[in-house]
Chains A and B, each alone.
Chain A
Amino acid sequence: MAEDEEEGYRWESGYEKTWEAIQEDEAGLLDSSVADLVARAKRARLHRARPHVRLGIMRHLYLVLDASEAMFVQDLKPTRLICCLKILEGYVQEFFDQNPISQLGIIVTKNKRAEVVCELGGNPIKVIEHLRKLSSAPCVGEPSLMNALELAASSLRTMPSHASREVLVLMASLTTCDPGNINATIQSLCKEKIRCSVIGLAAELRITRHLAQETGGEYAVCLDDSHLRDLTMAHVQPPPAVAHMEAALIRIGFPSHNTSADSPGKLSYCMCHLNGPAPPEGPDRGGYLCPQCYSKHCELPVDCATCGLTLMSAPHLARSYHHLFPLEPFEEVERPPGGPPQHCAACRARIDTQKLISKCGKCSELYCVDCDLFIHETRHVEVAVTSRGSGYGGAARRGTLWVGV
């Protein structure tokens, strides 16, 4: 019973002909072959060799969310919309965690229109707040891909050229209702070097694949919710920088943190909440002071509202840097025939019974596939090797640092 409830009602799910699950696979062209393709693609992504690629670690990303009628279809549980929002919440968290000096905004398209729900910003809490609000909004009409892209482009166009400009579209509908020629829009996106990636929720739509191909993005269609999560999370990693991107030095401020308890500073409002309604708890003493103009901000990372200096803390920067020095991919090794039972170096699970085994090239430890994925996607540091310290502590203590991007 408990299992049934998790999956939703029987009548909501598709017809499952369980007897068909038993299939001969000699022909090599049935379900399992596709599942195999997906698994292989996953590993391929991990192993994609990119040793000396410049990455755009300052990212400006617009999430374009389709909120058309098609979002109410229940093939992802409970509905496509709620499933997507849940996954996006996780994605936003992860995105800011891995790319602390990046910005993210949300555009929603429905009823042949598109609107910006959340401007580009560096604050995950704000973005997630907006995402949550969307779950109760109605989904009506058809989406307009062109309007959404134009909107994103008009905002991304003004971004500095050393930052990457990206759009990630989640598209449930199989049609787009546009006011003009979408191919012209795609051309202008190419010109502006805006990278558009698309995740389809239902099936392969030609124009979205074309969009992704033309602008250098990725295109994928989800099989189910866990696959959708994988596909979305794949966009957490920064993409390789486009060739044209300028290399520039930007000034970064490392503000010191005043906690309300230990500093005798004056009561004040922070810059972030100055223009909006006053925070309920009133002015306080704590916050981050910009090392250049001493205006107060309640959260990092942020661009200083007064002098425009990029403010962040040293750990943010250090975290962004692991993209530049990625962990070497593990080798795939054959299962050794016979021999003593072997265990994964991380989780101690038996691995001699598994199909795929990974081996670290440096220390020759063996890992299971799950740990391999975890180490590369989340930890970025090999288990057996102690993490290297970051060398930026000293500069950070002095206040500001020039960082090449």
Chain B
Amino acid sequence: MRLNVDGLLVYFPYDYIYPEQFSYMLELKKGLDAKGHLVLEMPSGTGKTISLLSLIVSYMLERPLEITKLVYCSRTVPEIEKVLEELAKLNRFIEKQTGQKTKLVGLAVSSRKNLCIHPEVSQEREGKVVDSRCYGLTAGYVRARAARADTAAGDGDGADPVPTCQFFEQLEESGRDATLQAGIYSLDDLKHYGRERGWCPYFVARRAIQQANIIVYSYHYLLDPKIAEVVSKEIVQSSVVVFDEAHNIDNVCIDSMSVHINKRMLERCSNNISAMEKRIANLKETDAARLQDEYQRMVDGLRDAQMKRENNQLLANPVLPDQILQEAVPGNIRTAEHFLNFMKRLVEYLKMRLRVQHVVQESPAGFLKDIFNKICVDRKPLRFCAERLTSMIRTLELTDMADLSPLVLVSHFATLVSTYTKGFTIIVEPSDDKTPNVYNPILYFRCLDSSLAIKPVFERYQSVVITSGTLSPLDMYPKILDFHPVIITSFTMTLARPCILPMIVTKGNDQVTISSKFESREDPAVIRNYGNLLVDMVTAVPDGVVCFFTSYMYMESVVSSWYDQGIITQLQKHKLLFIETQDAAETSLALLNYIQACENGRGAVLLSVARGKVSEGVDFDHHLGRCVLMFGIPYMYTQSRILKARLEYLRDTFQIRENDFLTFDAVRHASQCVGRAMRGKTDYGIMVFADKRFQRSDKRTKLPLWIQEHLKDSMCNLSTEEAVQISKRWLRRMAQPFSRQDQLGISLLTLQQLQSEEMQNKMRERVTHRI
């Protein structure tokens, strides 16, 4: 249908629309008009993706000068594929409506692993290996060498031909100007396109980033400074950036700026260095001029890069701070041998630092002072480490990047530690958290400030949209990401029937309070009551039931107690039991069998862990998850020093109290877990929060609005038996026939219904503004 959203003609490729979709578009339009950033929360399964795409694409068509590009960031490859599917549908619809071909180019960009069509390289399973093998076939000097070998072969010399990638060569031959035809390209379409023309799909996609109107890719391409530098730096300023499923965005930001170094890596670094030394000695005999060239470049400095940044052509790279650009590379690391010696000293120093018996925590400044005292390394050369290493790898024509990764990591660490004095901490622990008795020292260089990585994105692009099903409490994100949105809104779900049933269970049948708080979590009475709750729910709920525990450790101890108490036997009478483990392969096998058990009517229970793989990436729609139980509140491990450092930093810098942040994080994970069961309006599911502490208003009010709305007072503070009775009655009601007809006019609208005065008023009332 064609909608009129606040004066803008919006193409919407479906015949029916949810009222909240319309409100969502309305808010989005306001934000785009104001050219500001937005935070929007809307429950999953209500068509966020298509609302976003419809509005922004229509906006682009109508006002092509104001928005030139849409950058859509998603988390996983399947999610990217879903976005492309919707986009293709939208494109077809627009073409049908306007009667002419659109000029839109939309495409998915993903790693080489997902796009490679080289017959051998694409067979590799690991992403890193594919990357490095591709690099070995397509790097500039490899191709130059291949060209030399070719001419040599032409002259009659017996030189071996150097292997290159034919697809890349053909793409190069067709010239840099080869552009993608208008259309929407998913990953498979790109591969198909590549095969047809004999072009490398990965590089076609990379080059098309400039030209495309819509780009869909993973967060990391924009947030991880190392990748953003390569991929996204030339995206124009008048773009709209969308982060979908963005509830974890602060963690992604932090991870992209953090480095972990352990002993094994340092050993490999030493190997890398000695290999490079040999290579340099070799090169000196054969081709000394090349080293001289490089030296000259070092002297000239990075003036080029600075020129570009001044012209505002590039996305700023937080790893490469402004000062670096203005200076030349310091003298003591200009020549290759000196630099290698320098690296050697650095690695030895780190090895020495790792020899600890107790935990050490210090600031980057303290670290720099120490390194200066011990091995006389100044701050300045450290800062150039990463740049210098990249240049050297280029000069030495090394192709095996996967092998060099530890050294690259150490160089990144050196640059980061010498650049940022605030927002980072260094912690050296003698052993891992999980295995406290095994001596395995690790150096954590942790970013504490999630705003650092995302700052250039907010500063550069016109509008950034952060959206997800679970962003509550909404005011936290602007604080921790340090930006000022023009619109913050939460949308609820309009429903024709009460299809979610959130309940807070606080006590067992014997009135024992259930809670996972530290003092009582090992109490057998609490564990027994958790078990009884699960058994009772399993008897009343059909098909799939998913339980989330707060940690693997807690799950193990509870399950073993349940075994002793005979609860496991009782469970197995009704449903089969599956458990998520830390092993990814084992977990996916368990999931597969879980699904089969649900489909066959045997029924299944899945025990899994909040923050685990299941809680983040797996959907349990319809019969796969009729009930989700959250045993306890999934707080982070509060004794962790990294967390403590971050809390301290947040308190000092952003005035966020420790408890507020911890609760915010725990509740967003809990709602993420229970939200797994609800994937659309025809779906229905029970959500049980089994902990007394959920009842307190500081937790309850932090739940997403669409859950809170259904969490009436009568659903809080229930005992096991009450909860089971309520669910039984509710399940019967939900099983009654429910058709589209029943939804129409309430939660599903036709164009006429949407335009009616009454509905417009209703929608206006439902939106809750929070600015």
Which of B496, B543, B623 interacts with A29 by CB under 8 Å?
B496
Q: A221 contacts B574, CB within 8 Å?
A: no
B541 contacts A203, C-beta separation under 8 Å: yes
Q: Are B601 and A203 in contact (CB under 8 A)?
A: no
Say how far A74's CB is from chain B's closest CB, in angstroms. Answer: 12
Residues of B within 8 A of A34 (CB): 497, 733, 736
Contact bitstring A251-276, B, C-beta under 8 A = 1, else 0: 00000000000000000000000000
In the complex, are the beta carbons of B600 and A220 less than 8 A apart?
no
Q: Does A145 contact B (CB under 8 A)?
A: yes
Are B733 and A206 closer than 8 Å at their CB atoms? Answer: no
**Taking A174-B539, A174-B574, A207-B599 as contacts, is the C-beta distance between A221 and B736 under 8 angstroms?**
yes
Interface 9-residue window, one of A77-85, A98-106, A152-160, A178-186: A178-186
Docked CA distance A175–B725 (Å): 19
Q: Are B733 and A29 interface neighbours, CB within 8 A?
A: no
Q: A178-B602, A182-B600, A203-B540 are in contact. Are A28 and B729 (CB under 8 A)?
A: no
Main secondary structure of the interface of A (DSSP, over half): loop
List residues 632-656 of chain B with CB under 8 A from any CB of chain A. Answer: none
Chain A residues whose C-beta falls within 8 Å of the C-beta of B573 in the assembled complex: 142
* Given A14-B728, A206-B598, A206-B623, A29 contacting B736 (CB threshold 8 A): no
Q: Does chain B have a CB within 8 A of A7? A: no
Q: Which residues of B contact A202 (CB under 8 A)?
A: 540, 542, 728, 731-732
Q: Which residues of A contact B370 (CB under 8 A)?
A: none
Smallest CB–CB gap between B597 and chain A, Å? Answer: 9
The residue of chain A having its C-beta at the shortest distance from the C-beta of B576 within the complex is: A175
Q: Which residues of B contact A28 (CB under 8 A)?
A: 496, 746
Chain A residues 165-207 with CB under 8 Å of chain B are 174-178, 181-183, 200, 202-207
Interface string of B486-501 (1 = CB under 8 A from A): 0000000001111000
**B736 touching A38, Cβ below 8 Å:** yes
Query: Does A204 lie within 8 Å of B602, measured CB to CB?
Result: no
Residues 712 to 755 of chain B near chain A (Cβ within 8 Å): 714, 721-722, 725, 728-729, 731-738, 742, 746
Closest Cβ of chain A to B502, distance in Å, is 14
Given A15-B725, A174-B574, A204-B542, is A37 in contact with B599 using a C-beta cutoff of 8 Å?
no
Give the total of A residues in contact with B, Cβ under 8 Å.
36
Question: With a CB–CB cut-off of 8 A, which chain B residues contact A205?
Answer: 542-543, 601
Judge whether B600 and A30 touch: CB under 8 Å: no
Q: A33-B497, A37-B742, A220-B737 are in contact. Are A183 and B600 (CB under 8 A)?
A: yes
User: How near does chain B come to A217, taking the closest CB pair, in angstroms?
Assistant: 14
- What residue of chain A has the Cβ atom nearest to residue B574's Cβ? A175
A174-B541 Cα distance, complex, nearest whole Å: 7
Q: Which residue of A is nearest B495, CB measured?
A: A29
Q: Which residues of A contact B734 (CB under 8 A)?
A: 203-204
Q: Which residues of B contact A200 (CB under 8 A)?
A: 735
| Chain A residues with CB below 8 A from B194, complex form | none
Per-residue 0/1 for B572-588: is the Cβ within 8 Å of any A Cβ (1 yes, 0 no)?
Answer: 01110000000000000
Report B441 CB to chain A, min CB distance, Å: 51
A83 and B626 alpha carbons, distance in the complex (Å): 27
> Are A41 and B736 touching (Cβ within 8 A)?
yes
Closest Cβ neighbor of B539 among chain A residues = A174
- The complex places the Cα of A182 from the Cα of B599 at a distance, in Å, of 10
B541 engages A178 (CB within 8 Å):
no
The closest CB in chain B to the CB of A181 belongs to: B600
A-B contact pairs, 18 of them (CB 8 A): A14-B729, A20-B714, A28-B746, A29-B496, A29-B498, A41-B737, A175-B602, A176-B600, A176-B601, A178-B600, A183-B600, A200-B735, A202-B731, A205-B601, A206-B622, A220-B737, A221-B732, A223-B736
Given contacts A29-B497, A41-B736, A145-B601, 9 further A-B contacts (CB under 8 A): A29-B495, A37-B738, A37-B742, A174-B541, A174-B603, A204-B734, A205-B601, A223-B732, A223-B733
- Which residues of B line the A interface, CB within 8 A? 495-498, 539-543, 573-575, 598-603, 622-623, 626, 714, 721-722, 725, 728-729, 731-738, 742, 746
Residues of A within 8 A of B (CB): 14-15, 17, 20, 28-31, 33-34, 37-38, 41, 75, 142, 145, 174-178, 181-183, 200, 202-208, 220-223
Which 9 pairs from chain A and chain B are nearest by CB?
A: A207-B601, A221-B735, A206-B623, A204-B735, A203-B731, A174-B542, A14-B725, A205-B542, A176-B601
